[in-house]
Amino acid sequence: MIHPPFFDTGRSFEENVLHGPFNAFADGEVFLREGEPQHRFLGFPVYLPFGIPAGPLPTARFAKAAFEKGFDLPVYKTVRTRELRSHPWPNVLPVEVDGDLTLEKRDKGLVVADDFREPLAITNSFGVPSSDPSFWQEDMREAVQAAGKGQVLIASFQGTNRGEGVDAFVGDYVLGARLVKETGAQILEVNYSCPNEGTTNLLCYDTDRIERISARIKDEIGNTPLLIKLAYFESQEHLRDMVRRLGKIVDGFAAINTIGAAVRNKDGSQALPGEGRLVSGICGAPIKWAGIDMVQRLKALREELGYSYAIVGTGGVTKPEDYAEYRAAGADAVMSATGAMWNPYLAKETQEYVKKHGIQ
Ligand SMILES: Cc1cc2nc3c(=O)[nH]c(=O)nc-3n(C[C@H](O)[C@H](O)[C@H](O)COP(=O)(O)O)c2cc1C
């Protein structure tokens, strides 16, 4: 069932940061847990390995509300080492997708839908905005401390390519990791897969580069667990080589980010205003197949290569059954962005569902 969203798509990113969260995430109602946490994620006890991935939770107030509603693994939206403004509003639009967003449908591009409805299919385009560390470090510290028993905050960050060469780019990731770790965050996630920056090639597809960056980040943060956020990999050989090299450096893989596709109005014009915004990230129900596929492949590779990394399954989780499907596919934790935005009770409903059906 669709509820009014806690991140208001009718407002700009800045207004959400200043005034959000909205609707049920602002009612202060707490989903109370009983007993002891029965699960562990990267060594941390959790009631349910379920959360909200990087995106819909841009401030401590959003993260606190997510904890209160039973999302035990919320991710604080990706931050940078310097302020960067969001793409102009609108940033989220509903899109028409008939069934799965196959790669053929992605290549043809999509058309905007009239309203947000089930099955939820949206595009989002923010450009990974960030406040200055002088603001977000203090706010992130609050978010870390808002975790209750059996809950832990994950902090997402990324570097920025300012055209100053590879060393500076790598160094910016390392600085980001240091600044995030200073907040007390216990799990870090580095975003290598945003399609909304106007670049055609995602960083996660450049194995040499992410191997170098990840090794430098791990040198910086020591034993603090590091997840890396991936997009969908079409080639199994490419994925296998990347996992073989990165699987011994990082502590886990989070997959998937959105799938980039051109989005147009019904008259064929570009839907989102501004340069570099014809292609934007598609998420929600139609990308579940791709998230499940990546989780299954990451699990098979973990067995084949004898690694022990964690797998975070994301993409198209809009109902409790989707959580169960991801767990069966091999996800150690499951997350929902689009589904949770329009259903603040998804964690509670999933808890009830797993209890009833005896699912882990
Ligand atoms: C509003 C919104 C903002 C997002 N921003 C980020 C981000 O800052 N960093 C990131 O790694 N992923 C971001 N994402 C992608 C999500 O983390 C997730 O990978 C993707 O939406 C697929 O999950 P879903 O189908 O449950 O939405 C964002 C998604 C949404 C809906």
298-323: per-residue pLDDT in tens? 999 999 999 999 999 999 999 999 99
- Mutate which of 77, 210, 226, 280 for ligand 1? The one with the most ligand atoms within 8 Å of its CB, which is 77
Q: How far is the CA of 353 from the centre of ligand 1 (A)?
A: 24
pLDDT of residue 201: 84
Interatomic CA distance for residues 75 and 56, integer angstroms = 9
Give the model's confidence band at 295: pLDDT under 50 very low, under 70 low, under 90 confident, else very high. Answer: very high
pTM of this structure: 0.98
| pLDDT for the residue 186 | 98
- Residue with the larger pLDDT of the pair 1 and 200: 1
pLDDT in tens, 154-189: 999 999 998 899 999 999 999 999 999 999 999 999
Q: Quote the CA–CA distance of 249 and 264 in Å, as a whole number.
A: 40
pLDDT (average), residues 33-61: 97
Pocket-testing residue among 283, 288, 334, ligand 1, by greatest number of atoms within 8 A of Cβ: 283
Going from the Cα of 195 to the center of ligand 1, the distance in angstroms, rounded, reads 10
Closest CA to 120 of 82, 84, 92, 159: 92
Q: What angle separates helix 207-221 from helix 236-246, to the nearest 10 degrees? A: 20
Give distance in angstroms: CA of 244 to centre of ligand 1.
26
In short, whether 125's Cβ falls inside 6 Å of ligand 1 is no
Token pair, residue 50, equals 């379920």
Pocket lining: 337 vs ligand 1, CB cutoff 6 Å: yes
Judge contact between 92 and 124, C-beta under 8 A.
yes
CA angle 113, 3, 33 (to 5 degrees): 140
- Find the distance separating the first CA and the last CA of the chain, reported in whole Å: 24
Instruction: Establish whether residue 260 lines the binding site of ligand 1, counting it when its CB lies within 6 angstroms of any ligand atom.
Output: no
Q: How confident is the model at residue 194 (pLDDT cuts 50, 70, 90)?
A: confident
pLDDT exceeds cutoff 90 at 197? no
Residues 261, 101: contact at Cβ < 8 Å?
yes
Measured in Å, residue 56 CA sits from the centre of ligand 1 at: 7
Mean pLDDT of the chain: 97
Taking Cα atoms as reference points, which of 78, 83, 47, 76 lies closest to residue 62?
76
Torsion of CA 12, 13, 18, 22, to 10 degrees: 80
pLDDT band at residue 200, thresholds of 50, 70 and 90?
A: low
- Residue 222 contacts residue 189 (beta carbons within 8 Å): no
**Of 60, 140, 194, 210, catalytic:** 194
Instruction: Set out the domains of the chain in order of their start, with CATH numbers.
Output: 13-87+128-260+281-357 (3.20.20.70)
If you take atom 21 of ligand 1, which residue's CA is the nearest one? 283
Strands of the sheet containing 333-335, edge to edge, are 50-51, 333-335, 310-314, 252-255, 226-230, 187-191, 154-157, 75-79
Q: By three-state DSSP, how is residue 27 classified?
A: coil
> Taking 70 as the threshold, does the pLDDT of residue 253 lie above it?
yes
**Backbone φ, ψ for residue 272 (5° rounding):** -95, 130
Q: Is the CB of 77 under 6 A from ligand 1?
A: yes
DSSP, residue by residue, 174-209: HHHHHHHHTTT-SEEEEE---STTS-SS-GGG-HHH
- Measured at the CA of 184, the angle between CA 345 and CA 309, to 5 degrees, comes to 70
Q: Helices 236-246 and 288-305, interaxial angle, to 10°?
A: 50
Nearest CA to ligand 1 atom 18: 257
Q: Is 194 a catalytic residue?
A: yes
* Residue 3 confidence (pLDDT) above 80: yes
- Look at residue 360 in the predicted model and tell me its pLDDT: 84
Residue 1: predicted pLDDT: 85
Q: Which residues contact 130 (CB under 8 A, 6 or more apart)?
A: 78, 79, 80, 82, 83, 84, 136
- pLDDT classification of 66: cutoffs 50, 70, 90: very high
Q: For residue 49, what is the DSSP state?
A: S
Is pLDDT of 204 > 60? yes
- CA-nearest residue, atom 12 of ligand 1: 54
If one residue of 8, 258, 350 were mutated to test the ligand 1 pocket, choosing by the most ligand atoms within 8 A of its CB, it would be 258
**Is residue 199's pLDDT more than 70?**
no
Quickly tell me which residue has 């940061």 as its tokens.
17
pLDDT at 328 over 70: yes
Point out the ligand 1 atom lying closest to the alpha carbon of residue 318: 26
**Amino acid identity at 170:** V
pLDDT tens sequence across 104-137:
999 999 999 999 999 999 999 999 999 999 999 9
User: Which of 234, 229, 197 is closest to 337 using CA atoms?
Assistant: 229
Cβ–ligand 1 distance for 338 under 6 Å, the answer yes
Q: Is the CB of 317 under 6 A from ligand 1?
A: yes
What are the distances in angstroms from CA 329 to CA 89, 294, 295, 336?
Answer: 37, 9, 6, 16
Ligand 1: which of 154, 160, 338, 341 to mutate, most ligand atoms within 8 Å of CB? 338
> How many contiguous H segments (helices) and E segments (strands) does the chain have?
11, 15
pLDDT in tens, 78-109: 999 999 999 999 999 999 999 999 999 999 99
Can you tell me the distance from the alpha carbon of 141 to that of 251, in angstroms, rounded to the nearest whole number?
22
Residues 229 and 210: their CA atoms lie apart, in Å, by: 11
Q: Which residue has the tokens 């609707």?
A: 23
Residue 354 pLDDT > 80, yes or no?
Answer: yes
Binding site membership of 229 for ligand 1 (Cβ less than 6 Å): yes
